Amino acid sequence: MKNRIILARHGEDEDNANGILNGRRDMPLTIKGISQAYGLLKNIKKYGLDIGLVLSSKLRRAHKTAGICADGLGVQHVALDYLIERNHGVLEGHPYSDIPVMAKKYCERFGFTYVLEVDGGETYPELLQRAGDVLSKLKNLIEVMNVDGDVLVVSHGAISRAMLVAHRGLAWQDLVETPSFGNCEFKILD
Q: What is the band of 112 on the pLDDT scale with cuts at 50, 70, 90?
A: confident
Instruction: Give the number of C-alpha atoms closer than 13 A to the C-alpha of residue 27, restricted to the C-beta side.
Output: 22
**AA identity, residue 129:** Q
Rounded Cα gap, residues 26 and 43, in angstroms: 26
pTM above 0.95, yes or no: yes
Tell me how far the alpha carbon of residue 88 is from its chain's centroid.
Answer: 14
Give per-residue pLDDT as tens, 119-135: 999 999 999 999 999 99
| Across 91-111, average pLDDT | 95
- DSSP letters for 100-131: HHH-SEEEEETTEEEEEE-TTBPPHHHHHHHH
Please report the domains of the chain, with CATH numbers, ordered by start residue: 5-189 (3.40.50.1240)
Rounded Cα gap, residues 64 and 11, in angstroms: 9
Whether residue 161 contacts residue 180, with contact meaning beta carbons closer than 8 Å, is answered with: yes
**Residues 6 or more apart whose Cβ sits within 8 Å of residue 190:** 4
Predicted pLDDT of residue 1:
54
Mean predicted lDDT score pLDDT of the chain: 97
| Across 177-181, average pLDDT | 93
Q: Is 116 helix (H, G, I), strand (E, B) or coil?
A: strand
Rounded Cα gap, residues 112 and 132, in angstroms: 24
Per cent of the chain over pLDDT 90 is: 97
26 pLDDT more than 70? yes
Instruction: Give the number of C-alpha atoms closer than 13 A to the C-alpha of residue 29, restricted to the C-beta side.
Output: 24
Of 169, 170, 150, the closest CA to residue 7 belongs to 150
Give per-residue pLDDT as tens, 135-150: 999 999 999 999 999 9
| Across 164-190, average pLDDT | 96
